[in-house]
Amino acid sequence: MKVLVIGGGGREHALCWKLNRSESVSEVICAPGNPGIKREARCINIGAEDIDGLMKLAREEKPKLIVVGPEVPLVLGLADKLRAEGFAVYGPDQAAAELEGSKSFSKALMDEAGVPTAFFETHTDPEQAAAYIRKIGAPIVIKASGLAAGKGVIIAQTEEEAIEASNDMLSGNSFGDAGSQVVIEEFLEGEEASCLFIVSGDTILPLASSQDHKALLDGDQGPNTGGMGAYSPAPCVTSEVEQEVLNTIAKPIIAALKTRGANFIGTLYAGVMLTDKGIKTLEFNVRFGDPECQPLMSRLKSDLGEVLLAAAESRLGGVKLEWDDKKALCVVVSSDGYPANFETGQVIGGLDAVETAGTTVFHAGTAEQNGSIINSGGRVLGVTALGNTVQEAQQTVYKALENLDWQGGFYRKDIGYRAIKREQNS
């Protein structure tokens, strides 16, 4: 079958890479794609947010399956429009995508469904927000309600810092419209994990566990980013944890969406914190995690095309996923300066040598210029390897990265450290 993938980041590169290796798939096309995706798919330069352009493309290409990678087109209602014209789509409708598009909606729905999460209030007025911050005290977490590419969360260590962040968001300074509402919530401590599910109506199929490093700097310090590296499986997600997340988080939230008339077909991503007081939900996303998707696709043995088509056609029941027993680890190389300002247009050399050293380089923010690969975004590469242990996978990636020839690139040196500590202790 012919599959159309929407998006052009590292996640979409991993999806196209896997689809291209699926027996059921004869052709992969991708809009807009990127220079790395070009190796796996025919790329068509239509942006992932150009809804009219994408509708026209779907009508022309008539793919059997359309996979929507990023959240923005889902929140804009691309999946609804495609389904209305009879396409098989993997990605939720607009009503269900609100789960990611609005943190205030998501928190309210969690409350309604009894899904465990940090206690919170939603505010639009700076004075009332400040009063709530003073009532709770620091540390405290301030979140822009709308989409902010993973950067709209401030963990404030003092009340002053929290009030400043909240004022910045509410005045429209830091995140535009996305910050016109803020969620102020309890600070949770514990280990974080990403629990993803392929969902089709009432059928909820867990993917292998993974863990992302969202902070910019080693030791999980510094500002939040879209994700600086990830690995799978996450050893803190035991089978008991997996069952609990399925039963107390995934099932009730999907059921609550259903009572609101939202039919979920796509990936449900539950970001969870394993705290002393039990498992709490940090956030929901309605798509594969980026960079979690890169290690997940590296380990998936099943035919991805078949699985996603089954979900899109509401016949996911009975489908089982097979995984490589090996561990996978992905280190994100970003443009130095990200998540704040950074320079683009720098030539990136040594990519072939990085791959020859045993990795797959998934492209995210790259472009082509005069036959060279240049950086064009914040997160640029996802260098991924398999290993018998997380440590082995990590060593392969870091050794391979010695071949990267890009002065303006930045990456963390400790991706996977928690899992490696567990491996060493067991």
- Number of C-alpha atoms within 13 angstroms, CB side, residue 217? 4
Q: Quick check: 264 and 198 in contact, CB under 8 A?
A: no
Query: Could you give the CA distance from residue 374 to residue 221 in angstroms, rounded to a whole number?
Result: 28
Binding partner at 118 among ligand AMP, ligand GLY, none, C-beta below 5 to 8 Å by kind = ligand AMP
Q: Quick check: 225 and 149 in contact, CB under 8 A?
A: no
Choosing from 5, 96, 118, 351, the residue that interacts with ligand AMP (CB under 6 A) is 118
101 touches ligand AMP by CB under 6 A: no
Query: Could you give the CA distance from residue 268 to residue 122 in angstroms, rounded to a whole number?
Result: 23
214 touches ligand AMP by CB under 6 A: yes
Binding partner at 289 among ligand AMP, ligand GLY, none, C-beta below 5 to 8 Å by kind = ligand GLY
Binding partner at 143 among ligand AMP, ligand GLY, none, C-beta below 5 to 8 Å by kind = ligand AMP
Query: Could you give the CA distance from residue 64 to residue 307 in angstroms, rounded to a whole number?
Result: 13
Residues 6+ apart with CB under 8 A from 399: 357
Q: Which helix (H) or strand (E) holds 195?
A: strand 191-200
Mask 238-277, x = binds ligand AMP (CB under 6 A)? ---------------------------------x------
373-to-215, 342, 346, 410 alpha-carbon distances in Å: 26, 17, 8, 16
| Nearest in space to 150 (alpha carbons), one of 271, 34, 16 | 271
Query: Could you give the CA distance from residue 380 to residue 410 in angstroms, rounded to a whole number?
Result: 10
Choosing from 79, 96, 153, 245, the residue that interacts with ligand AMP (CB under 6 A) is 153
Q: Quick check: 374 and 367 in contact, CB under 8 A?
A: yes
155 touches ligand AMP by CB under 6 A: yes
| Nearest in space to 40 (alpha carbons), one of 377, 362, 384 | 362
Query: Could you give the CA distance from residue 267 to residue 297 in angstroms, rounded to a whole number?
Result: 14
Q: Which is nearer to ligand AMP, 220 or 423 (CB)?
A: 220
Q: Which is nearer to ligand GLY, 308 or 373 (CB)?
A: 308
Q: Which is nearer to ligand AMP, 36 or 289 (CB)?
A: 289
User: To 10 degrees, what angle do helices 94-101 and 251-259 make?
Assistant: 130
Q: For the CB of residue 282, give the shortest distance to ligand AMP in the complex, in Å.
A: 4
Q: Which is nearer to ligand GLY, 192 or 303 (CB)?
A: 192
Give the binding site for ligand GLY (CB under 6 A).
150, 212, 227, 285, 289-290, 292
Q: For the CB of residue 144, give the shortest distance to ligand AMP in the complex, in Å.
A: 9
Query: Site residues for ligand AMP, window 322-341 (CB under 6 A)?
Result: none
Query: Could you give the CA distance from residue 267 to residue 71 in angstroms, rounded to a whole number?
Result: 11
Q: Give, rounded to a whole angstrom, the gap between the first and last alpha carbons of the chain.
A: 45
Q: Which is nearer to ligand GLY, 22 or 285 (CB)?
A: 285
Q: For the CB of residue 42, give the shortest distance to ligand GLY in the complex, in Å.
A: 26
188 touches ligand AMP by CB under 6 A: yes
* Radius of gyration (C-alpha) of the chain in whole angstroms: 20
Binding partner at 81 among ligand AMP, ligand GLY, none, C-beta below 5 to 8 Å by kind = none
Binding partner at 12 among ligand AMP, ligand GLY, none, C-beta below 5 to 8 Å by kind = none
Q: For the CB of residue 290, give the shortest distance to ligand GLY in the complex, in Å.
A: 5
Choosing from 29, 141, 385, 390, the residue that interacts with ligand AMP (CB under 6 A) is 141
Q: For the CB of residue 271, give the shortest distance to ligand AMP in the complex, in Å.
A: 4
Q: Which is nearer to ligand GLY, 203 or 211 (CB)?
A: 211
Return residues touching ligand AMP (CB under 6 A): 118, 141, 143, 150, 153, 155, 185-188, 192, 214, 224, 271, 282-283
